[in-house]
Structure 1
Amino acid sequence: MQRMWSVWLSVISLFLVAATHWLYRWRNPKCKGTLPPGSMGFPLIGETLDFLVPNKSLDMLPFIKKRMKKYGPIFRTSLAGRPVVVSSDPEFNYYVFQQEGKLVERWYMDSFSKLLNQDATKIHAHKNIHKYVRKLVLGHFGPEALKDNMLPKLEDVINQRLQNWAKLPIKFGSAEKCCSCKQIFDFTAAQMFSYDAEKSGENIGEFFTDYHQGLVSFPINIPGTSYHACLQNKKKAMNLITKMLKERRRNPDIRKGDLLDQMLADMKTETFLTEKFIIHMMFGLLLAGFESLTSTLTLAIKLITDHPEVVQELTEEHEAILNSREYTSSGLTWKEYKSMTFTHHVVNESLRLASVAPGILRRTIHDIQVNGYTIPKGWVLMVVLAAIQLNPNTYKDPLAFNPWRWQNVSANVTVKNFIAFGAGMKSCAGADFSKVLMAVFLHVFVTKYRWTATKGGEVIRSPSLKFGDGYFSSAFGAIKT
């Protein structure tokens, strides 16, 4: 009996020693230098739960703000089981974005990588593949495509959608976002693979609603979790995209002139273009633009509604465009779009305040030295957009919606302090499309409609931008004559 107790005592002692050592290593990760200040939180969980605490404000997450005040603009933490260095330092962030492929590489949270599949995430790991994808997107959604043929299509789609919605009082909430949400997705999907919402038996846009909620979660596939819901929606969306690709390949003579046509043609020369790769990339591109753009546009509508003086100046600018035409009913031209000075200010200010994603993620390829600290190889870097774009040292009264501030903001300031579409070589190829879509929507909105906010609500960062249920109810007036 005494011998058995000795054995159990030895086992328990070894376990305690091992657990203590493991806990010490968790709290004090290996580093060839001095780690940035911060805390790794609880084992495995890290500080994820604190990170996910919602904030009913446009201000940055309390998690970030509290630690910036305690540790400074660069600190360490652990999120979803990964060691992370969070940075709100404009100079360092600018440097990081210039070191794409040298010191850092694009990276997704484990949940996002599994949701997108390695075939989709690896497009950023290979220079030639990324170059191909960027060229492809710019060819179909870049300035030339917008200027030559997409601008009138956008205006027609927005006109049609708003006419339908003007007949009813509209509820804006976390699921609906805004009346333009479905319209944006349908239009984007149509340009990518000729998706027809009316002919399709499924609404693919619903599969992407609130997708960001699962991207920073633990990748645990259990019913009831955000991650499980993301997987189920992904499966439905992927099945629909696969069905359309198979149909296109069975009928090679049918040419739609869309992005899918281009990729199918390029399969003859680009070895990495497999069916699996194309399907996952289509899914990834839709996901990348859908949530952020619809959230930003919803926020823009809320902000201008709260500021009648902004609506007034927008209306004057766009009615001046109509009055300068020979025929009022003529469609928007590229020249008219470029002339929308105040509208561009409104778009920039909405993008600055939105900061839809909690941060832009990169992973270190080598150890990085910054301010006397070392960020170890293999760690995740999170560039916090809100911390940069809401910096009071750069933007006076940063939480105020003030489009006029952009009259005096120079390019030297924005290059490091306005990164709504990322920065460096891998900035978002869809930036121009997003800006044009928002501007065209505002043009139609203020020249043809009058609306009234009928119900209050709140903006929520949790950690991505969301809108509380019943947040924005608005009744559209009749079309102006």
Structure 2
Amino acid sequence: MLTIGLCAVVAVATILITHWIYKWRNPKSNGVLPPGSMGLPFVGETLQLLLPNHSLDLHPFIKKRIQRYGPVFSTNLVGRPMIISSDPQLNSFIFQQEGRAVELWYLDSFQKLFNLEGENRPNAVGHIHKYVRGVYLNLFGVESLRTRLLSDIERTVRANLCDWAGSGETIDAKTATSNMVAVFAAKHLFGHDAETSEDIAETIDGFVQGLLSFPLNIPGTRFHKCMKDKDKLEKMVTAKLKERILCPEKGQGDFLDQAVKDLNTDFFLTENFIISVTMGILFATVESISTSVGLAFKFFAEQPWVLADLEAEHEALINKREDKKSRLTWDEYRSMTLTMNFINEVLRLGNVFPGILRRALKDIPYNGYTIPAGWTIMVVTSTLQLNPEIFKDPLAFNPRRWKDIDQETASKNFMPFGGGTRQCAGAELAKAFFATFIHVLISEYRWTKVKGGNVARRPMLRFEDGIFVNISKKHN
């Protein structure tokens, strides 16, 4: 009887597990799902996406599935059913449907990392996003860059390059730039004083390591380390916020000033929300600019002719000045055609993130398939930027290609900062910071790449072994 009972239990368990696996692999849908695979229970196909790809090309996870299933396919990543799209028409539709058919979305690990849940979700209500974007553009938009920030950026760049060269040491350009941008952004966001408070660049770098990791907050996991880093930064921002609430007259014209002023006028503004938004902006600003600068040193070493083109442009710019030692002006910045072509090419190849995430608010029919309500959608814009029909020899770094690309073609095939109403508000700040760094570096310094520069997508773009350079002042 015991044997019969055990056999019955095993049989029932087998049936239940088989049924569960079948349901995992064949999720419910009111229509036909795009082709694809849900992968293994719990983990889905996450492990394949996390395998490093030592190239600036599309990650093999995405590239192989496009070749197998087409430009739109279904999968499961970090426990979430997902549609991945490299279809230009569908991607354009998704961007246009913000707030109607789709909403901004983050993976669970990202939401927990930045407390983007409940009242803190910036995608919860449209006017929340509008408020945050408006405040950010007021601080870091074109008008602020033109009237005051460009000079502050140049002072920051000059001070850091002087320190790097003066140290006589080999520096990791990515790490050093992360620190420079982190201090600059933190100063304008919450009055961070680099001389009296702890360094934050390493903490921000810890955030990056935890993206797309499983949100298991137990000792020994990558996510646990990220949460500890988050707590450190959160304490710094919280202390500044409390101080500003008690003594608003000590304001510094930063993000916290505006947020504290609006704290009692907009119902969605809470202290937790302000802290979450501050940390999110800080992370995005630091990672995008520092990765671009690291790639610049990589391409300078690999394509010396690129440097020659830029040197000619910046030498001509300085020679036009009455005072050769005067600071960079807004008109000079806007005249840097070759520099902007260089920046565009870095951004075209150097997509930091594998895609842009949205969540379907309702069933979305497309081309005979259905994207179910509640599913995450990853919009892969980098497929446009690697399209050989638009960008000949797309994996080659060639800034000169941009002189033959018109504005309309670029707007449809070049989206390094996303698209639609959610296009990154920090785009102008990132480009201005990058261009100013290039201007000061090329005009006043020489450098040699010592080692490193190898990249890998895991799936975010990272430098496997850093990018180490020796920097020295010209005309010593």
- TM class by smaller structure: over 0.9
Question: What's the CA shift for 1:94?
Answer: 1.1
Match of 2:473 among 468, 473, 478: 478
Per-residue CA shift, 1:15-68, capped at 9, x if unaligned? 221111111111111112211111111111111101100011111111111111
Distance 1:143 1:226 in 2: 38
Question: What's the CA shift for 1:423?
Answer: 0.3
Distance 2:340 2:281 in 1: 25
Q: Tell me the equivalent position of 1:158.
A: 157
Trace 1:73-112 onto structure 2 (pairs within 5 A).
73-112=71-110
Q: 1:178 to 1:444 in 2, by over 3 A?
A: farther
Q: Does 1:263 align with 2:259?
A: yes
What code does the residue aligned with 2:16 have? Answer: A
Trace 1:282-297 onto structure 2 (pairs within 5 A).
282-297=278-293
Q: Tell me the equivalent position of 1:134.
A: 133
Question: What's the CA shift for 1:237?
Answer: 0.3
Question: What's the CA shift for 1:210?
Answer: 4.7
Distance 1:270 1:120 in 2: 13
Match of 1:415 among 411, 414, 427: 411
Q: Tell me the equivalent position of 1:188.
A: 185
Question: What's the CA shift for 1:393?
Answer: 2.5
What code does the residue aligned with 1:48 have? Answer: T
Question: What's the CA shift for 1:170?
Answer: 5.0
Trace 1:2-17 onto structure 2 (pairs within 5 A).
2=1, 4-17=2-15
Trace 1:66-465 onto structure 2 (pairs within 5 A).
66-117=64-115, 118=117, 122-171=121-170, 173=172, 177-200=174-197, 202-465=198-461
Distance 1:370 1:300 in 2: 39
Distance 2:111 2:411 in 1: 29
- Give SS of 2:473's match: coil
Unpaired segments of 5 or more residues in structure 1? none
Question: What's the CA shift for 1:172?
Answer: 5.2
Q: Which 10-residue stretch deviates more, 388-397 or 327-336?
A: 388-397
Q: Does 1:31 align with 2:38?
A: no
Distance 1:121 1:52 in 2: 28
Question: What's the CA shift for 1:171?
Answer: 4.2
Per-residue CA shift, 1:127-151, capped at 9, x if unaligned? 1111111000000000000001001
What code does the residue aligned with 1:235 have? Answer: D
What code does the residue aligned with 1:454 have? Answer: V
What code does the residue aligned with 1:416 have? Answer: K
- Give SS of 1:180's match: helix
- Give SS of 2:249's match: coil
Distance 2:322 2:241 in 1: 44
Partners of 2:353 and 2:460 within 8 A in 1: yes
- Give SS of 1:455's match: strand
Distance 2:120 2:275 in 1: 12
Question: What's the CA shift for 1:249?
Answer: 2.0
Per-residue CA shift, 1:189-226, capped at 9, x if unaligned? 111111110121x1122110152331201111122322
Distance 1:458 1:408 in 2: 30
Partners of 2:120 and 2:273 within 8 A in 1: no
Question: What's the CA shift for 1:336?
Answer: 0.5
Partners of 2:101 and 2:362 within 8 A in 1: yes
Distance 1:16 1:158 in 2: 64
Distance 2:113 2:176 in 1: 27
Per-residue CA shift, 1:274-294, capped at 9, x if unaligned? 212111111111122222221
Distance 1:478 1:255 in 2: 37
Distance 1:228 1:149 in 2: 40
Q: Tell me the equivalent position of 1:48.
A: 46
Q: Which 10-residue stretch deviates more, 267-276 or 57-66?
A: 267-276
What code does the residue aligned with 1:135 have? Answer: G
Q: Quick one: percent identity of the two aligned structures?
A: 47
Q: Which 10-residue stretch deviates more, 84-93 or 161-170?
A: 161-170
Distance 2:120 2:431 in 1: 25
Q: Which 10-residue stretch deviates more, 53-62 or 134-143?
A: 53-62
Distance 1:85 1:416 in 2: 22
What code does the residue aligned with 2:181 have? Answer: I
Per-residue CA shift, 1:259-280, capped at 9, x if unaligned? 1111111113112212121111
Unpaired segments of 5 or more residues in structure 2? none
Distance 1:368 1:271 in 2: 32
Partners of 2:214 and 2:223 within 8 A in 1: yes
- Give SS of 1:177's match: helix
What code does the residue aligned with 2:174 have? Answer: K
Question: What's the CA shift for 1:254?
Answer: 1.2
Distance 1:383 1:170 in 2: 42
Distance 2:472 2:248 in 1: 47
What code does the residue aligned with 1:151 have? Answer: L
Partners of 2:164 and 2:171 within 8 A in 1: no
Partners of 1:169 and 1:474 within 8 A in 2: no
Distance 2:119 2:316 in 1: 45
Number of equivalent positions: 475
Distance 1:388 1:65 in 2: 13
What code does the residue aligned with 2:163 have? Answer: N
Question: What's the CA shift for 1:458?
Answer: 0.8
What code does the residue aligned with 2:20 have? Answer: W
Q: Tell me the equivalent position of 2:63.
A: 65
Distance 1:208 1:55 in 2: 23
Question: What's the CA shift for 1:415?
Answer: 2.5
Per-residue CA shift, 1:323-344, capped at 9, x if unaligned? 1111111111111111000011
What code does the residue aligned with 1:133 have? Answer: V
Distance 2:168 2:382 in 1: 33
Distance 1:448 1:457 in 2: 23
Distance 1:111 1:120 in 2: 17
Partners of 2:353 and 2:461 within 8 A in 1: yes
Q: 1:135 to 1:419 in 2, by over 3 A?
A: same
RMSD of Structure 2 on Structure 1 (CA): 1.6
- The TM-score with structure 2 as length reference comes to 0.96
Q: Which 10-residue stretch deviates more, 205-214 or 70-79?
A: 205-214
